[in-house]
Amino acid sequence: MRFGKRCSTEPRARDAPLFGVDHVADSPERFLADSGRVFARFDERTQDSGNVSYGVEIGGRRCFVKTAGRADTASFHDHADRVRLLRNAVHLAQSCEHRTLPKLRQVVESPRGPMLVYDWVDGELARSALNRVRALPASQVSRLLSDIYDLHVQLVGEGWVAVDFYDGAMIYDFDRRRVHAVDLDCYQRGRFTNTMGRMFGSTRFMAPEEFELGATIDERTTVFTLGRTAAELLSDGSLDRQPFGGSEAQHRVMIQSCRAHPDDRFQTVAEMNAAWLAAG
């Protein structure tokens, strides 16, 4: 096996730390298997993105490694698009450091595109553990939401607009009461025009403009998605008052965030977040 420019003696992969390599000649599967213990694999059996990710332990350190998968894997995105989105995820990680974002430690180029090496985080996807999240005390879920909102204040400050954010993009550690945001690959910088009609994403979290060809997608779209996040985690998915677990003031913030017309919502995530903090 050959390595990139940091490896002058061409050592075997199992003898070289993952964090000291820029390029590899082998496939991600072979390189990671030779580098450490692969204890988890996330492929078409668990998600339909076409990406393949791994949990890898090297020298007692656990990492999450995300790749674009095989070129012949069919998904919503072809392999070239998956590579592009991974590189977009690198730009996002480099632009924003936040307690909810797993740290991106290394990018390793391979014949199948980049391998993104993140710190491993414990917990469960909020999507698969939704009933457990909803059963938590309202104050605990409110703190979870506050962390996600605070993250997006920082992201929009760097120009990012949320795309395809939903409960499958949150990992919640029930023991430590800590949330992490993952898989933000589709986020885009700056407002843009909906050229798809029905955009990628979970219908439960998507704003009306994400279904409308030619509509503007901007920070107000992110506000809607964050409002829907409260409806899904702090309520039963509806906007009704009775099942909502938060305060009356928090409910009003959620309702305004989820107005159908962008002009009727909070105009910035910072404005929404300030109202949420004042309400809770």
Tell me what pLDDT residue 111 has. 93
Tell me what pLDDT residue 17 has. 57
Architecture of domain 124-279: Orthogonal Bundle (1.10)
Tell me what pLDDT residue 7 has. 31
Closest CA to 50 of 18, 84, 20: 84
Tell me what pLDDT residue 267 has. 98
Alpha carbon 9 to its chain's center? 37
Instruction: Express each pLDDT in 223-255 by its tens digit.
Output: 999 999 999 999 999 999 999 999 999 999 999
Q: Which residues contact 230 (CB under 8 A, 6 or more apart)?
A: 145, 246, 250, 253, 254, 257
13-119 and 124-279, same CATH topology: no
**pTM assigned to the model:** 0.91
| Contact by Cβ (8 Å): 117, 107 | yes
**Count, residues in the chain:** 280
| Domain spanning 13-119, CATH class | alpha beta
Q: Treating both helix axes as pointing N-terminal to C-terminal, what angle do 269-279 and 138-157 enclose, rounded to 10 degrees?
A: 160
| Contact by Cβ (8 Å): 69, 43 | yes
The rounded distance, in Å, linking the Cα atoms of 262 and 72 is: 40
> Torsions phi, psi of 158, nearest 5?
-95, 5
Residues of the chain where predicted confidence (pLDDT) is lower than 70: 1-17
Instruction: Express each pLDDT in 176-194 by its tens digit.
Output: 999 999 999 999 999 999 9
Alpha carbon 27 to its chain's center? 25
Look up tokens 């017309």; give the residue: 261
Instruction: Express each pLDDT in 108-129 by its tens digit.
Output: 999 999 999 999 999 999 999 9
Domain ranges in the chain are 13-119, 124-279
